[in-house]
Amino acid sequence: MSVPSTSAVAKKPFYKKWWFIAVVLIVFVGALAQACGGGTKNATSTQSVAPVAGTQSAEGTQSAEGTQSTEETQTAEETQPAEEQVPAEHKAALLSAKSYADTMHLSKQGIYDQLTSEYGGKFPAEAAQYAIDNVEADWNKNALEQAKSYRETMAMSNDAIYDQLISEHGGKFTEEEAQYAVDNLDN
List the chain residues with pLDDT less than 50: 39-70, 72-73, 75-77, 79-81
Q: According to the model, what pLDDT value does residue 57 have?
A: 41
Please name the residues in contact with 100: beta carbons below 8 A apart, sequence gap of 6 or more.
26, 106, 110, 111, 114, 115
Q: According to the model, what pLDDT value does residue 19 have?
A: 75
Q: According to the model, what pLDDT value does residue 5 have?
A: 57
Q: According to the model, what pLDDT value does residue 30 have?
A: 72
Q: According to the model, what pLDDT value does residue 11 have?
A: 73
Q: According to the model, what pLDDT value does residue 4 have?
A: 58
- Tens of pLDDT, residue by residue over 141-176, are 999 999 999 999 998 999 999 999 999 999 999 999
Report all structural domains of the chain as residue ranges with CATH numbers, in order of start: 88-134 (1.10.10.10), 139-184 (1.10.10.10)
Q: According to the model, what pLDDT value does residue 21 have?
A: 79
Q: How far is Cα 1 from Cα 14, in angstroms, rounded to an integer? A: 29
DSSP 8-state class, residue 13: P
| DSSP labels, 95-149 | HHHHHIIIII---HHHHHHHHH-TTTT---HHHHHHHHHH----HHHHHHHHHHH
Q: According to the model, what pLDDT value does residue 32 have?
A: 66
Q: According to the model, what pLDDT value does residue 136 have?
A: 95
Q: According to the model, what pLDDT value does residue 7 have?
A: 53
Global pTM reads: 0.56
Q: According to the model, what pLDDT value does residue 22 have?
A: 75
